[in-house]
Amino acid sequence: MKIFKCIDPEDLIKDYFSRGSKCPQTYDEYLNSDLFILGHCTSSTLLDSILMYGLLPDEKKEREYDDGVASDKESVYLSTIIDRYYFKRAVNKFAGEGILIVVKVCKANLYPDEAVMLLNNATKDLDLELYKSISSGQCKHKGPIPISHFEGIYNSVGDLIWKKNH
């Protein structure tokens, strides 16, 4: 199984204004990857619950209020890049500190983000749409993401605050 590492926690310590990490450079690179290392930015206020239950879908549809696009209440939204905007949004909503949860997930459980599809004149080719979504910096994972899929949890300056026991 080939793993594509979009999120690299080391990018948190680099002097980026807002974005870091990488996306597949070509459609073939995307097609040849089975697993993706992605991130979910949230607030440290939610950490105890996340460590107990994993990452759960946004059943309250709170994203809809942030960007006007209906949220999928059955999915967890993931980032393929480090965008500090997501830290700010989580801290504004829940207080605490921004944290990055790095996950390894199967491509078969990933779907394109609605906002990206809306902007890109979506086709019926799900692989192409997911590639465009990942290349735009975001996608979603259908269903919860259990803690067994977590690679590590970092604060917004790159300090490791939780690591998976292999």
14-34 tens-digit pLDDT: 765 556 678 898 999 999 999
Q: Is 159 domain-assigned?
A: no
Q: Is 164 domain-assigned?
A: no
Count up the domains in the chain and report the number: 1
Q: Is 67 domain-assigned?
A: yes
CB atoms < 10 A from the CB of 113, how many? 27
pLDDT, tens digit (0-9, with 9 covering 90-100), for 68-114: 666 788 999 999 988 888 889 999 999 999 999 999 999 999 999 88
Q: Where does residue 89 fall: left (phi above 0), alpha (psi -120 to 50 degrees), or beta otherwise?
A: alpha
Q: Is 44 domain-assigned?
A: yes
Q: Is 147 domain-assigned?
A: yes
- Give the mean pLDDT of 136-152: 95
Q: Is 127 domain-assigned?
A: yes
Q: Is 12 domain-assigned?
A: yes
Nearest-angstrom CA–CA distance, 100 and 71: 21
The domain in which residue 124 lies consists of 3-151
Q: Is 166 domain-assigned?
A: no
Q: What is the value of pTM for the model shown?
A: 0.90
